[in-house]
Chain A
Amino acid sequence: MLRIRRIAGLWRTAAFRLAIAFASIFGVGAAAMLLLLDFGIARFAEEELHSALRHQMAIMRADAQLEGGHALANILAEHVRTDTINRYRYLVIPPAGPTFNSGLPETSIGITGFGTAEARAEDLLAGPAGRPVKMLILTERIADGTFMAVGRESYPLDELRAGLHHIALWGSFALILLAVVAGIVAGMLFLRRLERVNATTGRIMDGNLSERIPSIGFGQEFHDLTGNLNAMLDRLEAAMAAMRQISTDVAHDLRMPLTRLRNRLEELVPSSAMQTAQIESAIEEADEILSLFNAMLRLARLESGSIRCDMTIIDLSPLVERAVEAYQPAAEEGGRKLIARISRPNHIRGDATLLNQLLANLIDNALSHTPAGTLAELEVLARQDDVVMIIRDNGEGVPESDLPNLTHRFYRVGHSRTRPGTGLGLTLAAAIVDLHHGAISISNRHPGLSVEIIFTRVDQSD
Chain B
Amino acid sequence: MHDSETGIGVDIFLLEDDKKTGMFIMRGFTELGHVVDWLEDGREGLQKALANHYDVMVVDRMLPGQSGLAIVETLRAEGIRTPILVLTALSAVEERVEGLESGADDYLGKPFAFSELLARVRALFRRNIHESTPDGDRITLADLEVDLRRRSVRRAGKRIDLTPQEYRLLEYLIRHVGQTVTRTMLLEALWNYDFDTRTNIIDAHVSRLRAKIDRGFDTPLLHTLRGVGYVLDASH
Query: Could you list which residues of chain A lie within 8 angstroms of chain B, going by C-beta atoms?
Result: 255-256, 258-260, 262-263, 266, 279-280, 283-284, 287, 291, 294, 297-298, 301, 307-310, 322, 325-327, 329-334, 352-354, 356-357, 360-361, 363-365, 367-368, 421-422, 425
Identify the stretch in B44-52, B54-62, B153-161, B188-196 within 8 Å (CB) of chain A at 4 or more residues: B188-196
A365–B191 alpha-carbon span in the complex (Å): 19
Asked whether A360 lies within 8 Å of B193 as measured between CB atoms, the reply is: yes
In the complex the two chains form, what is the Cα distance from A332 to B204 in whole Å? 9
Closest to B201 in A: A330
B110 CB contacts on chain A under 8 angstroms: 256
Q: Are B165 and A325 in contact (CB under 8 A)?
A: yes
B227 touches A266 (CB 8 A): yes
Return chain B residues, CB-CB under 8 Å to A301.
92
* Contact with B198, one of A353, A354, A425 (Cβ below 8 angstroms): A425
Could you give, for residues 83-115 of chain B, a 1 whenever the CB lies within 8 Å of some chain A CB and a 0 otherwise?
A: 000000001111101100000000000111111
Beyond the given pairs A360-B198, A364-B199, 17 more chain A to chain B contacts, judged by CB atoms under 8 angstroms and listed by A's residue number, are A256-B110, A259-B111, A297-B91, A298-B92, A308-B92, A308-B94, A308-B95, A309-B94, A326-B191, A330-B200, A334-B199, A353-B93, A353-B97, A354-B93, A363-B199, A365-B198, A425-B198
Distance of A283 Cα from B113 Cα, bound (Å): 11
**Do A266 and B228 touch across chains, with their CB atoms under 8 A apart?**
yes
A178 to chain B, nearest CB (A): 67
Asked whether, in the complex, the Cβ of A368 is within 8 Å of the Cβ of B198, the reply is yes
CB-CB < 8 A to B203: which residues of A? 330
B:30-76 near A, CB below 8 Å: none
Complex interface: chain B residues within 8 A of A260 (CB): 24, 111
Answer whether residue B6 sits at the interface, using C-beta atoms and an 8 A cutoff.
no
Report A-chain residues with C-beta under 8 Å of the C-beta of B115: 263, 266
Q: Are A322 and B92 in contact (CB under 8 A)?
A: no
Residues of B near A356 (CB, < 8 A) are: 191-193
**CA gap between A223 and B167 in the complex, in Å:** 69
* Structural contact, B114 and A263, CB atoms closer than 8 A: yes
Kindly list chain B residues whose C-beta atoms are within 8 Å of the C-beta of A363. Answer: 199
Chain A residues with CB below 8 A from B199, complex form: 327, 330-331, 334, 363-364, 367-368
B205 CB–A CB distance under 8 Å: yes
B201 near A327 with CB under 8 A, answer yes
Interface residue B82 (Cβ < 8 Å from any Cβ of A): no
A327 to B197: give the CA distance in the assembly, Å.
10
Q: Which of B111, B193, B207 contacts A333 (CB 8 A)?
A: B207
A–B pairs, 18, beta carbons within 8 Å: A260-B111, A263-B114, A266-B227, A294-B91, A294-B195, A297-B91, A326-B190, A326-B193, A327-B199, A329-B201, A330-B199, A331-B199, A332-B204, A334-B199, A360-B195, A360-B197, A367-B199, A421-B198
